[in-house]
Structures are given as C-alpha cells and as structure tokens.
C-alpha cells in the first residue's frame, strides 16, 4: 500500500525528446509537489498544486509543465530535454499548505544522453 | 535569504551519539524539519519542531532549536549502522498567498562505522 508512487523509477532518453513522469498519492492529501535533486543531492522545489490549482511555480524553464488531473495525481511533462535536466525528480504530498509535513515518493532518476 | 546550511559529512562509531547541525535564515519559519534519505530512496520525515519549542524528543532522536542563533540540531542516540543516510534539515517559508514551502539544506551524509 504505497503512499506516494512515481512512474517510471528510471528514465533514460536522448536530448530533444519529450517525456512525462507520473505521480499518485493515496493519502487523501490535497497538496502535491515536484522537487528536483541534482547530483550533489541539493533539493529544490519546482511546483506545487493545491486542489488541482498551481500555487508554487519556482523559476523553472517553461519546458517543464506540471498537470494535475485530480487531487491524487500530479504529472510532470518535460519538452525538448537537455543534458542539464538529468537529475532525480521527487514527487511529494501534504495535507494543506501550511504545516508542510510532506511525504515523498521514491523518485524518478532521469538521465538525458 | 533562503539558505539553509549543513555540514556535508559526519562519521561516528556504532553506539555513539551523532549530532547533525543546521543553520537557517528565516526567523518567520514556523516549523523546522528533519528528513532522512537512504540510498536510492525518497525522503522520509523523521521529526519536526514548532518554532516556539526549544526541544523535542522522540525515542532516540532529540531536536534542539535555538531561535536566537537560528540553529537547529538533530541528536541520534546509540547510532546504528541502519542510521547511515543523508539527513536534511528544512525550514518552512511563506511562498505565495497563504502557501508555505520547504527550503532544504544541502544534506549531511552520516556514516556509521562498525
């Protein structure tokens, strides 16, 4: 009974391709997040959705487009992949937007060649 | 500023106590968090402390908060090899409207030696 799940776990693709990462949570949370963790383990928020509405949109290239079809899902689509997009992408969820007690998925390791 | 700073590495012997330190910048942070990341896994929330508290204890974990110095620490008593992981502290900052977001430190790699 996985709480926050992501697919795929690994993604290897070539520069210029378009790819999507999917995230689902079964915790009944109303807020979901995407983070990027670089090779030095530095973790930075990219987006956050609350009740399907975008509430946090950090300085991220517009090649990255999140989409939340419902409260339990938050997908990340990346156009025209670049080498610098290689990282581990984590999805997380929380109940509400104030306490930030966030639960993380296992991550998707994206490698762009 | 939004920098949260941690030392990068810490090695301890099994059975000893580990102390991981963190400094944060935003005095308006209401909650401060410690997360653990094991190799190849996501982040796991270990514990958190509300900003009006000085200390919180949870089994082998003790969190100390010094608001004046904006210093947070995590003490792990009787450290075990299974505690080897990266530990992240995070502060909760106001983002847009009423939303808050987490800003993470760089993580401290804890290595427990037998």
For residue A72, the model assigns a pLDDT of 95
User: Does pLDDT of B2 surpass 60?
Assistant: no
pLDDT score at A100: 65
**Chain B residues in contact with A101 (beta carbon < 8 A):** 33, 45, 48
**What per-residue confidence (pLDDT) applies to A99?**
61
What are the strands, taking DSSP E only, across chain B? 5-6, 9-13, 18-23, 31-37, 43-50, 55-58, 61-66, 71-76, 85-94, 100-104, 108-113
Q: Is B100 on the interface with A (CB under 8 A)?
A: yes
Residue of chain B minimizing CA distance to A58: B95
Strand A43-50 and strand A53-57: the pairing is: antiparallel
Q: Kindly determine whether residue B86 and residue A56, on different chains, have CB atoms separated by under 8 Å.
A: no
Question: Per-residue pLDDT for B70 more than 60?
Answer: yes
pLDDT at B1 (0 to 100): 40
Residue B41 has pLDDT above 50, yes or no: yes
Give chain A positions within 8 Å (CB) of B92: 99-100
């Amino acid at each position: 009974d996985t709480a926050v799940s992501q697919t795929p776990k690994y993604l290897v693709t070539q520069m210029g391709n378009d790819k999507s990462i999917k995230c689902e949570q079964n915790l009944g949370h109303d807020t979901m997040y995407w983070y990027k963790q670089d090779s030095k383990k530095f973790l930075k928020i990219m987006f956050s959705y609350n009740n399907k509405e975008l509430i946090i949109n950090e300085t991220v290239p517009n090649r990255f487009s999140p989409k939340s079809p419902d409260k339990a899902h938050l997908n990340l689509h990346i156009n025209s992949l670049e080498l610098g997009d290689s990282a581990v992408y984590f999805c997380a969820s929380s109940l509400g937007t104030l306490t930030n007690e966030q639960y993380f998925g296992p991550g998707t390791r994206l490698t762009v060649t | 500023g939004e920098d949260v700073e941690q030392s990068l590495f810490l090695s301890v012997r099994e059975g000893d106590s580990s102390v991981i330190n963190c400094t944060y910048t935003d005095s308006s942070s209401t909650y401060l968090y410690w997360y653990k990341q094991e190799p190849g896994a996501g982040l796991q929330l270990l514990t958190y402390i509300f900003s009006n508290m000085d200390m919180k204890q949870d089994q082998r974990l003790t969190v100390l908060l010094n608001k004046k110095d904006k210093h947070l620490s995590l003490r792990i008593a009787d450290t075990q090899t299974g505690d080897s992981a990266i530990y992240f502290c995070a502060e909760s900052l106001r983002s847009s409207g009423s939303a808050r977001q987490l800003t993470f430190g760089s993580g401290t790699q804890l290595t427990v030696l037998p």
